[in-house]
């Protein structure tokens, strides 16, 4: 029986087990990290606001394969299927699209996400079955596609759409960024309708958590940042403080199992005045759960203090490198001194932090990599990650690596190892990819197996039961890689 309204399937397609599509560097992680597919979740909310029948399948989160997708669609024959796609999973996602088209030949098929935003014509060259790509911030683009299919589809009038017109690929004008983010459906309500919060894990956050955005965009234009260059943009837009607080109260009342919030804004602390207002609102309203957020290292001690008072337990900070020349080349507009000052202030405020460190940037060599490792141990983050620089289509670093011959492959399947771990697809002037991976493995062991670090984690686990549970869950998976090469 054909329903009165469209059946729309939002699909995070089956790929590798525990493949975390929602990350800035999508892949399978050593610590079993599994991000919420929050971009697709927000877009699902926008589609649901039209009143159509909508389902969202997060196959990697649920552990579903392609057969599971077909089985679960038996009572929900889709008229429109949207696939989220990333660079490492791109060829797989095309295969899934083709299989579904064979099963549902009358359905309309689209793709959205970082990869097809950067290279919108590419999927049309690989399959005849795709009808459109939703570029950039795609919430309202998909909403307009849905409304068009129900009321007279005119794809040429939908901003942000790339579509097939006979034998021609047409790129409509870009869609302006959403101005009023309060108009979007709360992502927590989408999670409640479609996802299981226990499928998602971040080793730096209490488990389970609820991940949400309080704003989108970042003005700093770091040359490797995938989301800002493809989806969220360089102009920061904020939800109102009241709207965020209302959602936090809803989560506190309706998600009894959730232990924490994670604010996945590009930089939660980008506007310190607004950050403090939000924290003051949490305190006033009695928002009791702990929370994590992304931050830059130039945040003031005064703001850190009120964040701690409002429940902030940890921050994720991109330090990247201990070399000022490389920091400048990335366009971060920070200094090494900022990093040390932040580390001191965060400890003084009682907030732990996760440090992100990457090697292989502009001008990198063996000496500069050792300098980064030394800084990482000096800063003493609670947890740290060491990776070769991952570059993706749509970012300036990808273009630079491609132009200079430092990108060793353009085969997207090589972005990951056979098990889904991040591979190294770049080289430097004096090192091959295997050497960069070897250094990251070495840096990881040096950082995590220091007696001072092991003693620090043991003490925290003894005094804090939730910290003990979080650490054990992360370490079970991570320990396998401490002595096992990544490639």
List the CATH number of the domain containing 99.
Answer: 3.40.50.2300
Residues 167 and 207 in one domain: no
Residues 165 and 255 in one domain: no
pLDDT-based confidence at residue 14 (cuts at 50, 70, 90): very high
pLDDT-based confidence at residue 478 (cuts at 50, 70, 90): low
DSSP per-residue string spanning 171-217: EPPPPPPPS-GGGSPPHHHHHHHH--GGG-B-TTS-SSEEEE-SEE-
Q: Give the per-residue pLDDT at 403.
A: 97
Count up the domains in the chain and report the number.
2
Residues 91 and 158 in one domain: yes
pLDDT-based confidence at residue 2 (cuts at 50, 70, 90): very low
Residue-range definition of the domain harbouring residue 121: 7-171
Residues 106 and 233 in one domain: no
Q: Give the per-residue pLDDT at 1.
A: 37
Residues 348 and 213 in one domain: yes
How wide is the angle at C-alpha 228 spanned by C-alphas 242 and 327, nearest 5°?
A: 115
pLDDT in tens, 353-375: 999 999 999 999 999 999 999 99
pLDDT above 70 coverage of the chain, percent: 94
Q: Check: CB of residue 365 under 8 Å from CB of residue 430.
A: yes
| 482 has a pLDDT exceeding 80 | no
In a domain, 354, yes or no: yes
In a domain, 179, yes or no: no
Residues 288 and 339 in one domain: yes
Domain boundary residue among 119, 148, 171?
Answer: 171
Residues 241 and 127 in one domain: no
pLDDT in tens, 94-136: 999 999 999 999 999 999 999 999 999 999 999 999 999 999 9
Q: Give the per-residue pLDDT at 476.
A: 60
Rounded to two decimals, what is the model's pTM? Answer: 0.94
| 465 has a pLDDT exceeding 80 | no
Residues 162 and 244 in one domain: no
Which two three-digit tokens encode residue 130?
């795709």
| 484 has a pLDDT exceeding 80 | no
Residues 308 and 255 in one domain: yes
Residues 261 and 153 in one domain: no
Residues 162 and 251 in one domain: no
The secondary structure of 148-167, three-state, reads: HHHHCCCHHHCCCEEEEECC
| 487 has a pLDDT exceeding 70 | no
Question: Could you tell me which of 243, 277, 261, 227 has the C-alpha nearest to residue 394?
Answer: 227
Q: Among 17-26, 81-90, 392-401, 457-466, whose mean pLDDT is lowest?
A: 457-466
In a domain, 178, yes or no: no
| 474 has a pLDDT exceeding 60 | no
In a domain, 186, yes or no: no
Residues 400 and 351 in one domain: yes
pLDDT in tens, 73-93: 999 999 999 999 999 999 999
Domain boundary residue among 149, 171, 193?
Answer: 171
CATH classification of the domain holding 389: 3.80.30.20
């Amino acid at each position: 029986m054909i329903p009165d309204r469209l059946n729309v399937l939002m699909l995070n397609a089956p790929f590798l087990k525990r493949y975390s599509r929602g990350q800035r560097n999508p892949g399978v992680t050593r610590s079993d990290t599994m991000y919420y597919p929050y971009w697709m979740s927000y877009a699902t909310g926008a589609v649901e606001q039209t009143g159509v029948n909508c389902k969202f399948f997060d196959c990697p989160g649920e552990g579903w394969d392609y057969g599971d997708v077909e089985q679960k669609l038996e009572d929900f024959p889709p008229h429109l299927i949207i696939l989220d796609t990333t660079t490492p999973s791109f060829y797989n996602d095309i295969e899934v699209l083709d299989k579904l088209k064979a099963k549902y030949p009358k359905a309309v098929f689209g793709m959205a996400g970082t990869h097809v935003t950067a290279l919108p014509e590419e999927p049309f060259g690989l399959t005849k079955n795709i009808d459109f790509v939703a570029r950039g911030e795609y919430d309202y683009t998909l909403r307009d596609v849905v409304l068009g299919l129900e009321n007279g589809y005119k794809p040429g009038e939908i901003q942000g759409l790339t579509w097939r017109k006979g034998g021609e690929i047409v790129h409509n004008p870009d869609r302006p960024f959403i101005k009023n983010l309060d108009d979007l459906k709360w992502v927590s309500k989408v999670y409640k309708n479609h996802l299981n919060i226990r499928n998602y894990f971040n080793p730096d956050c209490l488990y389970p958590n609820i991940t949400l955005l309080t704003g989108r965009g970042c003005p700093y234009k770091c040359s490797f940042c995938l989301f800002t260059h493809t989806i969220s943009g360089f102009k920061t837009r904020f939800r109102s403080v009241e709207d965020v607080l209302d959602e936090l109260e809803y989560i506190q009342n309706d998600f009894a199992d959730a232990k924490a919030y994670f604010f996945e804004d590009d930089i939660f602390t980008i506007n310190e005045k607004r950050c403090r207002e939000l924290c003051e609102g949490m305190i006033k309203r009695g928002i009791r759960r702990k929370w994590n957020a992304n931050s830059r290292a130039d945040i003031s001690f005064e703001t850190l203090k009120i964040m701690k008072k409002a429940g902030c337990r940890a921050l994720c900070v991109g330090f990247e490198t201990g070399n000022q020349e490389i920091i400048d080349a990335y366009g971060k507009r920070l200094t090494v001194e900022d990093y040390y000052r932040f580390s001191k202030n965060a400890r003084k405020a009682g907030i732990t932090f996760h440090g992100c460190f990457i090697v292989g940037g502009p001008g990198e060599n063996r000496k500069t990599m050792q300098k980064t490792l030394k800084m990482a141990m000096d800063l003493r983050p609670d947890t740290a990650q060491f990776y070769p620089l991952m570059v993706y289509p749509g970012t300036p670093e990808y273009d630079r690596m491609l132009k200079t011959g430092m990108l060793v492959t353009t085969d997207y399947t090589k972005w990951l190892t056979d098990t889904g771990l991040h591979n190294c697809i770049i080289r430097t002037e004096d090192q091959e990819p295997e050497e960069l991976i070897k250094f990251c493995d070495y840096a990881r062991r040096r950082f995590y197996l220091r007696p001072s670090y092991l003693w620090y984690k043991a003490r925290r686990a003894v005094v804090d039961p939730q910290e003990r549970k979080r650490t054990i869950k992360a370490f079970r998976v991570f320990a396998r890689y401490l002595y096992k090469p990544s490639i």
